[in-house]
Amino acid sequence: MTSTTAEPSMSLDAETMRKGYARPEVLVTTDWLAAHLDDPSIRILESDEDVLLFDTGHIPNAQKVDWHADLNDPVVRDYIASEKFEELLRSKGIDESTTVVFYGDKNNWWATYAFWVFQLFGFTNARILDGGRTKWEKEGRPMVTDVRTFPPTGYRAPRREDSRIRAFREEVLEHMRAGRPLIDVRSPEEFSGQRTHMAEYPQEGVLRGGHIPGARNVPWARAANPDGSFKSAEELRQLYERDAGLQKTDDVVAYCRIGERSSHTWFVLSYLLGYDRVRNYDGSWTEWGNSVRAPIEK
């Protein structure tokens, strides 16, 4: 659902413009956010891997979105239904006229995941804080522990539409058989089958290691700078096009373990490089690696 209400001034600073992105307006800088903390048309949402991190300190006026409890259905392996998404946004004072700025820990990987889930509901008035929590903290900007609340809204959520930016197992199987590009954003050790999980993380039940046949390995975090911000468009083109062989006209499916790291790559390809057809396979390796007769390579 695209807002027709005027959004706050999203003037781009020289730093963002120099990076050469296809859609620079989808990012805000720490300077911009610091100047708009009290803007009544802004809602700031923090989504972290560490769901307890928000309580230790967060950007003033930020609210928490728990990727597991708030965005995932508690029973079905799927995202929340439209009525639950509606309740979530109403409770946080968000409607179509509100600009939502997402940020989080670890290069914004869960922030881009939350951004992606919002896009499933057509909520396009959304931005990512370039650098996320890491950059904000490194710059010594204010952090608070009090939690701001906002008056509830009358937001009406549309029916969730998955087909444009989400891929399911059978679609990925067809995509693989057609020889279309697959980007595996996991670590090289996971890609090769040496590991079945991220280093220093628990094994979450996948039975086989390896990757989807034909996939190219571009670990997601290579798209980020040490301060958590995104690399320039030229650096990203080197990574995805010259090194991995993608073209802007490609139909691309990205995947990882459960779709969180690949949402970061989906964001980079879709918004920063301007690819028109990128889908996130959120079933990813936890589904593929356990599926009967699903082909793998090592």
Which residues are annotated as catalytic? 256
Residue whose structure tokens are 């990813």: 284
Q: What DSSP character marks residue 291?
A: S
Helix axes 260-267, 109-120, angle to 10 degrees: 80
Neighbours of 76 (CB within 10 A): 9
C-alpha 278/C-alpha 228 separation (Å) is 23
Amino acid letter, residue 280: N
Q: What is the DSSP string of 202-257?
A: ---S----SB-TT-EE--GGGGB-TTSPBPPHHHHHIIIIIIT---TT-EEEEE-S
C-alpha 206/C-alpha 287 separation (Å) is 8
Q: What is the DSSP string of 139-193?
A: TT---B------------PPPP--TTTB--HHHHHHHHHTT--EEE-S-HHHHHT
- Is the distance from CB of 296 to CB of 207 less than 8 angstroms? no
